[in-house]
Amino acid sequence: MFLKLILTLSLLVVEQQTWPGFMGAGSTAIDHETLPTKWSPTENISWKTTIAGQGQSAPIIWNDKIFVTTIEGFMKDHCHLIALSVAEGKIIWDYKTGSNVKIRSSRTQSRAAPTPIADANGVYAFFETGNLVALKHDGTLLWEKFLAKEFGPFETNIGLASSPLQTEEAIVLLLDHEGPSCLVAFDKKDGHIIWKTARESRNSYASPALIEMGKSQRHIVCSSSGSVDGYDPRTGKHIWGYENVGGNNVATPFQVSIGKFLVGAQAGMHNEREKEAKKSNFLMTVDTSGDFAKPKV
């Protein structure tokens, strides 16, 4: 199976642009007036490139390279992290590694769903098979970890989809599933665990977000299957929690201003969470002025 990667002309407007994570976390500014509103097989398409495997992750950009991930094989046999030229779509390198845990690939399961992240030193990708890889920008392997061996198998019917979050020093993964779940930070340099915080087991595909709270404070915010929680990005300490939330097992928290962020919910494949989801789309703030942080809708 192969995937076609298509780039629109709008991404080429800004030289040395960065879009280093899921939903553009840490990205450079974009001139929205230059974004096209119409596409066709011939209109506003700069190039098309066929790449191996299938991927549900989003592309990211660091300077002159685009990075994408895919899964290849009937049993998700191989994981790919691929670098392409922004200008031409030419494949610069394709790092291929054997899957840590082989799972039957089907349209109802995630296929390379987590979006990778990048910084000035490298690019980092997590796969639902448990593979976590770090590469230099030239495609040289820095390190690789096999999390299913380290933490035990991930217990989920349709795979993990949570994208990694980055701080200056760490890669942060939200490993929520029906088995032992956690929020965990890995050192970018060598992959060692900086901290690991246990969470209740749950069924979730949402990604964590780094939210600016003001007064030089940042919290890692996780909205996932019944609760919204804030953690210290330096230590992993649980700072605050807000429960009585439903249907919030997919959407990533989205910052709209300092200390304010949106929480989203959905009704489920068969509207099984419709009642809870209707009450769980809201704007949240966290009061950090006192001794204890207080979340509020």
pLDDT digits (tens, 9 = 90+) for 156-203: 877 789 999 999 999 999 999 988 999 999 999 999 999 999 999 988
Domain ranges of the chain: 1-123+133-139, 206-297
pLDDT of residue 262: 97
Residue type present at position 30: I
Residue 205 backbone phi and psi in degrees, to 5: -130, 10
**Is 110:126 a contact under the CB 8 Å cutoff?**
no
d(CA 20, CA 15): 15
Q: What average pLDDT is seen over the chain? A: 90
String of b and e for 199-214 (b: at least 16 CB within 10 Å)? beeebbbbbbbbbebe
User: What span, in angstroms and rounded, lies between the C-alpha atoms of 65 and 52?
Assistant: 18
| pLDDT for position 155 | 86
Per the structure block, which two tokens stand in for 56?
A: 């549900």
pLDDT band at residue 3, thresholds of 50, 70 and 90? low
Provide the CATH topology of domain 206-297: Thrombin, subunit H (2.40.10)
Condensed to tens digits (0 to 9), the pLDDT of residues 58-105 reads 999 999 999 999 999 888 889 999 999 999 999 999 999 998 888 878
CA dist., res. 83 & res. 68, Å (int) = 7
Model pLDDT for residues 210-255, shown as the tens digit of each residue: 999 987 899 999 999 899 999 999 999 999 999 989 899 899 999 9
Q: In this structure, how many other beta carbons lie within 10 angstroms of the beta carbon of residue 291?
A: 5
What average pLDDT does the segment 244-273 reach? 91
pLDDT at 9: 41
pTM more than 0.75: yes
118: buried, middle or exposed (CB in 10 Å: 19+, 13-18, 0-12)? buried
Specify the pairing of strand 65-72 against strand 60-62.
antiparallel
Cα–Cα dist 208/253, whole Å: 7
Contacts of 270 (CB under 8 A, 6+ apart): none
Average pLDDT over residues 146-153: 90
Give the pLDDT confidence of 11-22 residue by residue, as tens digits.
444 456 799 999
Beta bridge partners of 192: none
- Average confidence (pLDDT) over 98-123: 88
Instruction: Say what the pLDDT of residue 88 is.
Output: 94
pLDDT tier at 10, thresholds 50, 70, 90: very low
What is residue 16's predicted lDDT score, i.e. its pLDDT?
A: 60
91 token code pair: 């494949």
User: What is the residue type of 40?
Assistant: S
Residues paired with 197 in a beta bridge: 183
Tokens of 82: 């691929």
**Strand partners of residue 214:** 217
Beta bridge partners of 7: 47
* Bigger pLDDT: 5 vs 152: 152
CA distance 23 to 44: 22
DSSP 75: T
The CA distance from 227 to 13, in Å, is 40
Categorize the per-residue pLDDT at 142 as very low, low, confident or very high, splitting at 50, 70 and 90.
very high
Q: What angle do CA 239, 178, 108 make, to 5 degrees?
A: 120
